[in-house]
Chains A and B, each alone.
Chain A
Amino acid sequence: MKVLVAVKRVVDYNVKVRAKADGSDVDLNNVKMSINPFCEIAVEEAVRLKEAGTATEVIAVSIGDKACQEQIRTALALGADRGIQVETEGSVEPLVVAKLLKGVVEKEQPQLVILGKQSIDGDNNQTGQMLGALTNMPQGTFASEIAVDGDKLSVTREVDGGLQTLSLNMPAIVTSDLRLNEPRYASLPNIMKAKKKPLDVYSPADLGVEVTTHLTQVSVEPPAERQAGIKVESVDELVDKLKNEAKVI
C-alpha cells in the first residue's frame, strides 16, 4: 500500500506574526519557517504505517517554490521514502492545491492520502476535504486514530461533541488532528540519508492544472488590542472586582 503525505512550509508556530504597517500583507521577513505541525503528524502516521508493515512506500509531496524542498527533506528525514515538489509561485489557494494533489494522486495511485487538518498560516482547514471531493474519495478529518482493516479504513475523529468513528472505503483521505501521534525527532544520520532520497519536481502544467485565483487579499490588520489589565492581590480583591467593577458575576 502506497501512502501519499502532503506537507506545507509555514511560519514556525512559535513566531508571532504581525501585519505590515501599510496593511498590505503580513511581515514574513527573516522569520523562521518550518513544516506545518499538522503535516508533521501526518508524516509520522504514514511512517508508522510503514514500520508496521501496512504501508510499502511513503511519498511526501509539497506545493510551493523551491524553498519547500526543505520541508520535503524534513519529511524524508522522518522516514518518507521519496519526495515530490509541485513548483508554484506565491501563495496558492486550497482549491488549487487540492487540484494539484489530485494530479499527483492520479500519477501515484496511493491507497491512503494523509494531510494535516489545517495549516497554521491560513487556518483554512480545507485542502483534504477538497481533495476528497475532487477524487471522490471518502475522508476522515480531524483524525485521532486510524487503522487499516483490509480494504477499509477505520478513522476516529475529534468532533465538537467528542469522538466519532467512521469506516471508509479505501483509497481514502485522512486529515490529522493533534492527538493522532507525537512525531519523532529526525536523527542526524536520517537527516543525512534524506539528502540522497529521490525528489521529483513537477510543474502545474505537468499535472494538467491551471493555477487560478478565486480570492484576493484586500488588506491585513492587527486584531483589536486588549486594554492592559491589572494584577489583584487576593481572591477577595478578585471577587470584588468581578462583582463591582466588571459586573460579570
Chain B
Amino acid sequence: MSTLVIAEHDNGSLKGATLNAVTAAQALGADVDVLVAGADCGAAAEAAAKVAGVSRVLVADNAAYGHQLAENVSLLIADVGAAYDNIVAPATSNGKNTMPRVAALLDVAQISDIISVEAADTFKRPVYAGNVIATVKSSDSKKVVTVRTTAFDAAAAEGGSATVEAVDAVHDAGISAFVSEEVAESDRPELTAAPVVVSGGRGMQNGENFKLLDGIADKLGAAIGASRAAVDAGFVPNDMQVGQTGKIVAPDLYIAVGISGAIQHLAGMKDSKVIVAINKDEDAPIFQVADYGLVADLFEALPELEAKI
C-alpha cells in the first residue's frame, strides 16, 4: 500500500495544511509520498523532504502548474496517482478545486473533508453543516480524500529525509489560464492555523469598526475572522469568512463579537477549545456554544477588553 499526499504550497514554501494532510495520510497505514506540483517550486519540495514520515517527494516543476490550475494539475495527479492506493490533499481551496476532478478522471468517488480515519477504507466526515457526523466506507480500490486540517495534528516539519525525484510529465490541458489575483497581505497568523481567532459579525456595523478588533488581535497574536453577514456587507474580504462554506477554524480561543451564532457560522468554529461570545442580545444562539458569554454592547466592551488583557 502507498499513499500520495498533494502538497499545499506557494512554490517558495510549504503550507502548514500539508503537515496535517501527512498525519491523516499516515493513519491510512501506508508509505507516504508527497507530490509538489508548481513552477519554480524547488524550495517547497525541499521543505516537503524534511517533513517527518515522508518517504519520497515527487516534484513536477513546470509553468503549467504554477497557478494550480485544476485542469492541468488534476491530469498530473491522476497520472502520478495511478501507482498509489490513496491520494490525499488538505481541504483547502486548491484541494477542493482539484481533487474531485482527479477522482472523476480515475472513476472513483472523492471523500471530502474527513475528520478521522477509522480504517483504510472507512472515514468520518461532517455533513449538514456539522450537525451530523457520518461514517462512510469506500468500495473503490483507490481512495481520493480531502482532509479537514483542524482535525489532524501537524506532522513535524523537520526530521525527515525523503528522497526528491523529478516528475517530467507535463500536462497542459490548454483550456484555462491564470489572469490575476488579489491576495490579502497580513502580518497576522493564518486564520486556519492561528491559536487565537477574533471574529466580527454584522454587529460591527462597518469595516472601519473592525479596527476595534485589531488591538486585541495584536495583543493575543490572533487572526481576525468574520461571519458571512460581515463579508456580504463588504466590511471585510471573503477570505475572512468562517463557517460551513467558508474557513474551518479550531483555535485554542475563539472570540465571537457581534455574531448571532447561525448554524452555518457554528459549523466553522464550534470545535474551538474555548469560545467567548460578546453580544448585546442575551438570547443570541452563540451563547449556547460559548464557554464564556458577555452580554454587552461591543463598542463598550472591546476597548475595555483591549486595555485589560
- Chain A positions near chain B (C-beta within 8 angstroms): 11, 13, 16-19, 26, 38, 93-95, 98, 117-118, 120-134, 136-139, 141-142, 144, 154, 157-169, 177-179, 213-223, 226-232, 234-236, 238-239, 241-242, 246, 248-249
By beta carbon, the residue of chain B nearest A239 is B308
Among candidates A38, A95, A167, residue contacting B177 with C-beta atoms closer than 8 Å: A167
Among candidates A130, A234, A236, residue contacting B101 with C-beta atoms closer than 8 Å: A130
A235 & B301 in contact (Cβ 8 Å cutoff) = yes
Contacts of B127 in A (CB 8 A): 26, 121-123, 220
In the bound complex, what is the Cα–Cα distance between A108 and B177 (angstroms)?
Answer: 26
B299 CB within 8 Å of chain A: no
Q: Would A226 and B133 be within 8 Å (CB), given that A162-B238, A164-B178, A242-B274 are in contact?
A: no
B2 CB within 8 Å of chain A: no
Could you list 29 A-B pairs, sorted by A, with CB under 8 Å?
A17-B132, A38-B245, A98-B104, A121-B127, A125-B112, A126-B112, A129-B99, A133-B100, A137-B175, A138-B173, A154-B179, A159-B181, A160-B94, A164-B181, A166-B176, A177-B238, A178-B228, A178-B231, A213-B139, A215-B138, A215-B139, A216-B139, A220-B127, A221-B133, A227-B291, A235-B304, A235-B305, A246-B273, A248-B196
Among candidates A93, A128, A133, A167, residue contacting B109 with C-beta atoms closer than 8 Å: A93
Contacts of B71 in A (CB 8 A): 132, 138-139
Q: List B66-116 residues whose CB lies under 8 Å from chain A.
A: 67, 69-71, 74, 92-94, 96-105, 107-113
Q: How far is the CB of B202 from chain A (nearest CB, A)?
A: 14
B276 & A178 in contact (Cβ 8 Å cutoff) = no
Question: How many A-B residue contacts, CB cutoff 8 Å?
Answer: 263
Among candidates B103, B136, B237, B238, residue contacting A126 with C-beta atoms closer than 8 Å: B103
Q: Which of B101, B103, B130, B137 has the most chain A CB atoms inside 10 A of its CB?
A: B101
In the bound complex, what is the Cα–Cα distance between A48 and B253 (angstroms)?
Answer: 43
* Interface 0/1 of B113-147, CB less than 8 Å to A: 10000000010001111111111111110000000
In the bound complex, what is the Cα–Cα distance between A193 and B117 (angstroms)?
Answer: 50
Contacts of A235 in B (CB 8 A): 294, 296, 301, 304-305, 308
